[in-house]
Copies of this chain bind each other. A is one copy, B any other.
Amino acid sequence: MIEYRTLRIALLGAGTVGAQVAKLLLEGGDELGARVGARLELVGIAVRDLDAKRTVDLPRELLTTDAERLVLGADIVVELLGGIEPAKTLILKALNSGADVITGNKALLAEHGPELFDAAEQVGAQLYYEAAVGAAIPIIRPLRESLAGDRIQRIFGIVNGSTNFILDRMTEHGATKDEAMKLAFELGYLEADPTLDVDGYDAAQKVAILAGLAFHTAVPLSAVYREGIGDVTPEVVERARSLGYVVKLLGICERVTTADGLEGVSARVYPALVPQQHPLTAVHGGNNAVFVQAEAAGDLMFYGAGAGGLQTASAVLGDVVSAARRHIAGGPGVGESTHAKLPLLGIESARTRYLITLRVADEPGVLATIASIFAEQGTSIETVQQTAAAGADAPTASLVIGTHHALEAALAATVEALRASSVVTDVASVLRIEGA
């Protein structure tokens, strides 16, 4: 019989994901161990309240409230507490004691990633975080390793399941946002405080993580431009539909060359119009899909569940196996590379397309006036659709104008000029078009 080395695993947190990780480790640890050539032993689970009700029954003798003590005796520490503290302190303690750390904590990584990676590198430990983006979808490892020999141009996709669920209910079932959010709460897609999802913070955290990996540059959360789905009303969804688009909250990061020839990184989150024939419009419910465009590889897509305790636990256990293999074989794993240090560009440097809906006076010469405003700002019109609107006092018309790609700064200036124009009654909506 082979004598296996035992690897001690400490789990911090027994919430939706943590409880599933514990269950899978307790039930399937022997099979995982056989894959690695080690005995994987879950030595303890740190919780705040020993008596809290949990989604999975966990052995009482494994529970402890002393997270610090648990961390210090472990070979592998799995942090699923969420939030900045005490997660950050515990991770640093674990790394400094030589343990490998696995985390799904996107908030922590987006805000303090570089500090944590530095700490890991200094002691030759590893920090794994496949669960931080796209739940079970393998996206971190492909970027970190499979595409490490390529040059990534752009990543864009749906990285927040909750808002995709809400927008999908509005699009496919004609729900109001309140109805969609109520259902999202009931089904567990939204937390008690929905701000993190609805205002785009969660998506922005993930974009910061993806951009850092893709462009070998530290990208703090503050460098990610962010708009949530607050302004997406049923009218916006319906108007988009009538024009052949679906509204999706997108996370985008890309290599951008400015007018001065400077290459930098643009990272942003906003609701955008996606053409109906684009594969992203087929991503329903709480699912996620990430497109990666690389110079040699071309277009790649990764699709799967974007949330869920069990699904996220799959990604965590993949990282546990990686860490265990590293412990058995010795030698450091894959460090983070930020050698490129590309400048981080603001939203004004992004090149996007706008779809602008205006209400204008229905009289001769108005279209010429509008067109000249676009020309003055250097933005080029691609499509115009004019419909007469049922006016109250004066006859008005509705104009829907699609632009070619232009600098966001120029597009924003165009919208300002339109608002100031006497022939424009109202700028009814301004939405970016992506994926076309």
Interface positions, chain A 21-35, Cβ under 8 Å from B, are 24, 28, 31-32, 34-35
A175 an interface residue at 8 Å Cβ cutoff? no
Interface 9-mer from A52-60, A232-240, A314-322: A314-322
A296 contacts B321, C-beta separation under 8 Å: no
A313 an interface residue at 8 Å Cβ cutoff? yes
B337 contacts A145, C-beta separation under 8 Å: no
Whole-angstrom distance between the alpha carbons of A296 and B142 in the complex?
A: 20
> Per-residue 0/1 for A290-317: is the Cβ within 8 Å of any B Cβ (1 yes, 0 no)?
0000111111111111001011011111
A368 an interface residue at 8 Å Cβ cutoff? no
Q: What residues of B have a CB within 8 angstroms of the CB of A334 in the complex?
A: 325
A136 contacts B298, C-beta separation under 8 Å: yes
We find that the number of chain A residues with CB closer than 8 angstroms to chain B is: 61
A364 an interface residue at 8 Å Cβ cutoff? no
B320 contacts A296, C-beta separation under 8 Å: no
Interface 9-mer from A148-156, A190-198, A393-401: A148-156
B299 contacts A305, C-beta separation under 8 Å: yes
A314 contacts B35, C-beta separation under 8 Å: no
B331 contacts A34, C-beta separation under 8 Å: no
Whole-angstrom distance between the alpha carbons of A314 and B143 in the complex?
A: 12
A315 contacts B339, C-beta separation under 8 Å: no
Contact of A321 among B31, B148, B305 (CB under 8 A): B148
Q: What residues of B have a CB within 8 angstroms of the CB of A151 in the complex?
A: 28, 31
Interface positions, chain A 138-183, Cβ under 8 Å from B, are 138, 141-142, 145-151
Q: What residues of B have a CB within 8 angstroms of the CB of A332 in the complex?
A: 329-331
A296 contacts B146, C-beta separation under 8 Å: no
Contact of A296 among B31, B147, B148, B310 (CB under 8 A): B310
Q: What residues of B have a CB within 8 angstroms of the CB of A35 in the complex?
A: 148, 216, 337, 339
* Partner-B contacts on A (CB < 8 A): 20, 24, 28, 31-32, 34-36, 130, 136-138, 141-142, 145-151, 216, 279, 282, 294-305, 308, 310-311, 313-322, 325-326, 329-335, 337, 339-340
